Structure 1
Amino acid sequence: MWRFIDMIDDMIKGSNDQYATRKTLIARVQDQQNERAWEEFIEIYKRYIYAVIRNMNISEADAADIHQKIMIKLWKHLPQLDINKITRFRSYLSTITKNEVLQFIRSSKRRVAREEKAANDATLSYLDNIRLPDIDKIEEKEWRIHLTNLALKNIESLFSDNAIRVFRLSITGLSTEEVSEKTGLSISTVNTLKSRVKSRFNTELEELKLDLE
């Protein structure tokens, strides 16, 4: 998994902070009457936000509640957001997520205290195991994976099933020989297909990074 993440990280860094984030979707979503833009925003960011929450050792049920509160908060606050003061929108999302998780922990501990539960109660243990200090690492890892999945989804219609399968296998860290063995394709064919998809994939990653970060 980490080899995969490192490979994707190298690809994503191809378009770095020298480019200004265009924030076109964010600007459109600030108009609360633009339902289409909001639907697009949710489709793009909901899985990423949920993945970050779940990776903080938060249960599925609690993650769903926190996720819903974050989306409502974004809908309310985005119209007032000065996007020109935001260096990276992803960092803004991380801050919103962190604050909502902190609020969840505080309110949960207050509830436990009111109910006078024992200090070794499973609920307290669960709350103490939430990985809040790791949120920066968590959101970075999940963003790489999320961006990769978006890019692949956007370009898969441009290539054959074999080409997409070859590329997906290659970015998991498999060697050309291993991909060849799994797909039944020759090594030269694997190299050709991987090269074709990689070029378009890198372009798509750069465009997504500019648009969504």
Structure 2
Amino acid sequence: MEAPKTRRELLDKLRMTSVAKKDWDEFYEIYWRLVYKVATNSGLPHADAQDVVQKTFIKVAQNIGRFKYDSKKGKFRNWLCLIAKQQAASHFRKIPIAPMVPGQPRVSSETEIRRMPDSASDWESVWDEEERSHLLHTALERIKPRIKPQQFKIFLAHCVKGMSVKEVQDLVGVSANQVYLAKNRVMPLFEEAVKAVSRFGAEGPEV
């Protein structure tokens, strides 16, 4: 079966009674970082945030058949963030209240929950950050098998992390010419991968 061309098409497929595992895997890969960010922004540590991610996607699987896209009511990711916030809130309520420490205010679970984003614009800022991270990560993973390990390390350090040529020379043990050659070799592949990944999210209505 042909893979969905846009996120809207992917969501439509997930609402069907019979869904291929690869479609759920693709959906998870797109959105798990956003859910994780919602959980960690609420104050949950890594392990608890991972638990919230799993519970959120279980809830989505149980309810996505009833989800209907309506641009007037907001994007799918806002609905997803709302579920994530509910799961984080539920997780907080199960955490025992720590004893008071003299001189330090007690932060309740409700206080932490109120710190989480509420408006669509807040969710958008969280999403934009994770979208950029996902785009970069996915593009790099696509080109990595096509590039020599040393050239990939050089490109990652110089073009992604912003290290200077001299810093890369010291880190990798190469000449300045090798840094420039790696950049010229890898950059076109990276830009091509970014366009391909962006195209998947750019076609059709925003979700």
TM above 0.5, one fold? yes
- Is contact 2:34-2:126 (8 Å) kept? no
Q: Which structure is richer in relative contact order (CA contacts within 8 A, separation 6 or more)?
A: 1
**2:137 maps to amino acid:** N
More helix by share: 1
Residue of structure 2 in register with 1:127 after alignment = 112
Alignment counterpart, residue 53 of structure 1, candidates 23, 39, 43: 39
Q: Is the 8 A contact 2:52 2:88 kept in 1?
A: yes
1:32-111 to structure 2, matched below 5 A, reads 32-33=17-18, 34-82=20-68, 92-102=76-86, 104-105=88-89
Question: How far did residue 102 of structure 1 move?
Answer: 4.8
2:190 to 179, 182, 201: 201
The alignment's C-alpha RMSD in Å is 3.6
Q: Percent same amino acid among aligned pairs?
A: 22
Q: Which amino acid aligns with 2:187?
A: K
Deviation, 1:26, is 3.4
Question: Could you say if the C-alpha distance between residues 177 and 73 of structure 1 is closer, same or farther in structure 2, counting changes exceeding 3 Å?
Answer: same
Contact 1:66–1:100 under 8 Å retained in 2? yes
Counterpart residue identity of residue 39, structure 2: I
**Runs (5+) with no aligned partner, structure 1:** 1-20
Aligned counterpart, 1:13: none
SS of alignment partner, residue 132 of structure 1: coil
Q: Deviations over 1:22-62 (max 9, x none)?
A: 23543443334222321332244324432442244223354
Could you state the TM-score of these two structures normalised by the residue count of structure 1?
0.67
Report the residue type matching 1:40 in the other structure.
E
Structure 1: which amino acid aligns with 2:55?
K
Counterpart of 1:173 in 2: which secondary structure?
A: coil
C-alpha distance in 1 between matches for 2:38 and 2:133: 11
Work out whether residues 56 and 135 of structure 1, in 8 Å CA contact, stay in contact via their aligned partners in 2.
no
Matched, 1:163 2:151: yes
User: What stretches of structure 2 of length at least 5 have no aligned partner?
Assistant: 203-207
What is the deviation of 1:167?
Answer: 1.2
Shift, 1:184, TM fit: 1.7
